[in-house]
Structure 1
Amino acid sequence: MDFKKLVLAVVLGSVATTALAVDKNAVRSQAKMMHGPLPAAMPGAENDTPALIDLGERLYFETALSADGTQSCNSCHRIDGGRGGVDNEATSLGVKGSRGDRNSPSVWNAGFHVAQFWDGRAADLAAQAKGPILNPVEMAIPDEQTAISNLKKEGYEALFAEVFKGEADPLTYDNLAKAIGAFERTLITVDRFDKFLAGDDTAITDLEAKGYQTFVQSGCASCHNGATFGGSMYMKMGLVNAYENTHDMGRFAVTNNPADKFVFKVPSLRNITKTAPYFHDGAVAELDQAVSKMAWMQLGRQLSEQELAEIVAFLGALEDTHTITVKYLNSDAGVGH
């Protein structure tokens, strides 16, 4: 499908009259009730100091936390240059040339989620931060002590001592994870949809407003709910019509509960336009294809071209519009740089 032609046809064709007739005040009221704007701060951010956040940012870009000194958190979860918190690969390449078996989820807004990773195996951002560093397929550091030793070589002892004052041993793997989590709690998207919710009718188009209504009426909001439009619950992939990937068993590998077979965390749709390819295995390249496929698998619905174009147009209003200033890029992360 040529999606650009499809959107043009929708805008210029029969949907134009319907879209122009949308009541934005009604859409706003409905959206405030069902979704709402993103909070200004993530849970736990009230305890994060500027020094802890700055340390976490250094560590997020620190390549010494990989076995060959080439990768950082940002390698797979890119936030530089206005990126969507992902590497836009189906699965990510590790330091030893192997690829993981799941798509790297976005780090943007992740601290609002019910848990971390597609299968929810990490309770929070700090717990998540510990995993990839020691994963032999990802950053491949052999053990926690090696990670700490690498940071000492890079001159981090004084920084940790300053941030974690009063602790007998401030440079620990737990504190490393706490710092990265603190930085990640600052990664909150800013989009036009929230500006619309705040009262700016010009922030979204009539087609995008109509798309929100179609999104809700089609049943998408039953899972993609809350301010993050997802991330708050788990759901079986292929609830109505089965998904062809039957190799990845989802949360079953974590819980060993047969009811959790093919169950995954519902992804957030905030900034979804920047996080292709889609699904836990990165199998779908285009957003319109992902929306169409999910409607069929999860809702048993075959969306019309008009409905599809409206929903995808709405999702564009959830795209992050701001770019953060990155202070420490990869090799420049170290204390001595």
Structure 2
Amino acid sequence: MSEFQPTPTAGVDYPRTWSQFEDWFVTEEECARYLERLRWPEGFVCPSCATKRDPYRSSRGRLICRTCRHPGTVTSGTIFDKTRTPLKVWLAAAWHLTSQKSGMSALGLQRVLGFGSYQTAWTILHRFRRAMVRPGRERLKGIVEVDQSYLAIRERRDTPVGKGGKRRTTKAVVVIAVEILEPKGFGRIRLQQIEEESTASVEPFVRAVVEPGSVLRTDGAAIYRALQDDYQHERTVIKSVMPDAIPAHVPLPGVHRVASLLKRWLLGTHQGAVKPAHLDHYLDEFVFRFNRRTSHSRGLIFYRLLEQAVQTDPITYRQIARKSPREG
């Protein structure tokens, strides 16, 4: 493979097909070299002293800074940190996760890669979800619709063998922001779980994800009034507020379309079984996929995910799970 270019090229910077993937990543050394070029596209930079200089390369893939002697590996300080799972398996998981338009559940990944443990597949997926939010990503702008939606999510509960699995259904509130393109179509989106439909919950979300001065389209709820000085606020009273008003999907088509797709994705790919404590990371995955829906190359999405993965801080299974999770 040649040196990476600013604009990634299929077959040069990332594999086009699964067959090509298998040709590229035969050994752990080849996988490590690929991640190294993604992490340091302009050459190795010491994580400790920030010196840009070729490192000493010792056994077992260690990279030792020639200036401060700091030892490390290409996976140190990333989501792959201290993993005992082979890098080829990690890259294969990233390929399957991004090559399927609807993604994969942990059970599906366990089956396709032959993991002996459901926990391993579940942890890998959640680590990749942490990498799906690009640091410093641009805020939405132009015309942006904002509204809330309720999600009914089912939590699997442990039961004795033979008794059947009982599920508790929880209603989660999700605030949705959607860029509206002219003359038609939708741009990027942002999602976040909130505790309740209130100014205290919605206002910080809007300010964090929508560029000031943008046109903000909402329903007639009072929770948006605090935003009217910094945004061009277009309010429409809908039926959920007043019985004689127009239906909600007419003035806010983007939000309702995204809410429908989100519910279908959670129900289809994950059977609606998601712990509320982990919902935000599933929302991050949905946003990552939706905002790249027009990509003609699944391989490029694979490349972007790994590019972000080597810049994402490590997280352990215990930090992710807290308790014993059993959702897909």
TM-score (norm 2): 0.29
| Structure showing the higher strand proportion among its residues | 2
The structure that has the greater radius of gyration is 2
Structure with greater helix percent: 1
User: Relative contact order: is structure 1 or structure 2 higher (C-alpha 8 Å, sep ≥ 6)?
Assistant: 1
| Normalised TM-score (structure 1) | 0.28
